[in-house]
Amino acid sequence: MAKKQPIQNEQAWLGATLKGLIVLFSWLPLRLNQGIGIAIGYLLWWIPNSNRRVSEKNLQVAFPNLSDAQRKQLLKRSLLHLGQVTTELGPAWRWPQSKLLPLVKEVRGQELMDAAVAQGRGVLLLAPHIGAWEVNGMYMSALHPSTFLYRPPNIASVESFMVKARSRYGAKLAPTDVRGVRDLIKSLKASHLSAILPDQDPGERGGVYAAFFGRPARTMTLVSKLIQKSDCVFLFVVMERLPKGQGFRLHYLPAEAEVASDDENVAAAALNRGVEACIAVAPEQYLWSYKRYRKPPPGVEDIYKSSKN
């Protein structure tokens, strides 16, 4: 019991610090907010760290045909965007609709979303870790009745703060457990909207290996199961970050029918192809610091072994 108290105190301190920073970031105009994010990105570029090491490994896999200089420039730009992902939590989690929604300056592929909604079925948006995905969720929940799954954060004291922030436009949040998945299916059957991050590592039991930029990666099977059980419509979506604090550009992209296949391997391969298409919208804005190829299948090299983290 004596060991738990220092851990709890540390968690509380980290949680309070994080919440304080998010509130601070929310006080800043978007251009200044993103400028601070860019400064954080430059630190990630200059100082040796796991984000840079992992991003470099992933970019070598995804873009083998680029020259070393081109890949190095893409790495740098991706780290600058990674810094902005952090600072944008302030606006995404704190700003009112009247201030946040007008920042979406353009919508491409709106006809895809209109056609999906017109079918009178639930709509499942597949939103990879690219651009301003937190803004994406807020925008969608303001326009449509929504239910979103969420993974409880590592810092437990932040959970209630996060849930309150993400649900303040009317969305219902359900944790990523059996009950949460049931709530999500029920919501989709009621013709509501939901979104899921399709490029998250599903763990050992929640997925299959499928090619992602030509290399096997653990890929979730939850997406195809949700579609099969709810008979929902599904699309990919990207919230692209515009330069110099101008706001965001929303993209709806079509998804292959095979994403709903009852063959898990076929569905996973189609899902990853869709994520690749989303990345093509703005490659520098993808979360390359995520260990997408962790725990490879037997006989496949672990590209992160040379990383210290």
The predicted pLDDT at position 8 comes to 60
CB atoms within 10 A of CB 273: 16
What is the C-alpha separation between 288 and 56, in angstroms, rounded? 8
Q: Using 50, 70 and 90 to split pLDDT, how confident is the model at 308?
A: very low
The pLDDT of 15-44, averaged and rounded, is: 96
The predicted pLDDT at position 152 comes to 83
Which of 218, 231, 192, 308 has its CA nearest to residue 271?
Answer: 218
What is the C-alpha separation between 244 and 119, in angstroms, rounded? 38
The predicted pLDDT at position 91 comes to 97
The predicted pLDDT at position 205 comes to 87
Give strand pairing partners of 194.
124
Q: Using 50, 70 and 90 to split pLDDT, how confident is the model at 101?
A: very high
What are 102-126's pLDDT values in tens digits? 999 999 999 999 999 999 999 999 9
The 3-class SS string of the chain reads CCCHHHHHHHHHHHHHHHHHHHHHHHCCCHHHHHHHHHHHHHHHHHCCCHHHHHHHHHHHHHCCCCCHHHHHHHHHHHHHHHHHHHHCHHHHHHCCHHHHHHHEEEEECHHHHHHHHHCCCCEEEECCCEECHHHHHHHHHHHCCEEEEECCCCCHHHHHHHHHHHCCCCCEEEECCHHHHHHHHHHHHCCCEEEECCCCCCCCCCEEEEEECCEEEEEECHHHHHHHHHCCEEEEEEEEECHHHCCEEEEEECCCHHHHCCCHHHHHHHHHHHHHHHHHHCHHHECCCCCCCCCCCCCCCCCCCCCCC
Q: Using 50, 70 and 90 to split pLDDT, how confident is the model at 10?
A: low
Q: Is the pLDDT of residue 146 over 80?
A: yes
What are 258-289's pLDDT values in tens digits? 999 999 999 999 999 999 999 999 999 999 99
The predicted pLDDT at position 184 comes to 92
End-to-end CA distance of the chain: 29
Q: Is the pLDDT of residue 151 over 80?
A: yes
Torsion, Cα of 220, 221, 224, 226 (10° steps): -90
What is the C-alpha separation between 90 and 105, in angstroms, rounded? 19
The predicted pLDDT at position 307 comes to 45
* Cα-trace Rg, the chain: 19
What is the C-alpha separation between 303 and 291, in angstroms, rounded? 9
What are 170-224's pLDDT values in tens digits? 999 988 888 889 999 999 999 999 999 999 999 888 999 999 999 999 999 999 9
Does residue 254 contact residue 103 with C-beta atoms inside 8 Å?
no
Q: In what order do the strands lie in the sheet with 233-241?
A: 104-108, 248-253, 233-241, 123-126, 193-196
Does residue 152 contact residue 261 with C-beta atoms inside 8 Å?
no
Does residue 122 contact residue 145 with C-beta atoms inside 8 Å?
no
What are 54-86's pLDDT values in tens digits? 999 999 999 999 999 999 999 999 999 999 999
Give strand pairing partners of 148.
173
The predicted pLDDT at position 298 comes to 94
The predicted pLDDT at position 5 comes to 59
Q: Using 50, 70 and 90 to split pLDDT, how confident is the model at 153?
A: confident
Torsion, Cα of 238, 244, 247, 252 (10° steps): -20
Q: Is the pLDDT of residue 297 over 70?
A: yes
Q: Using 50, 70 and 90 to split pLDDT, how confident is the model at 7?
A: low
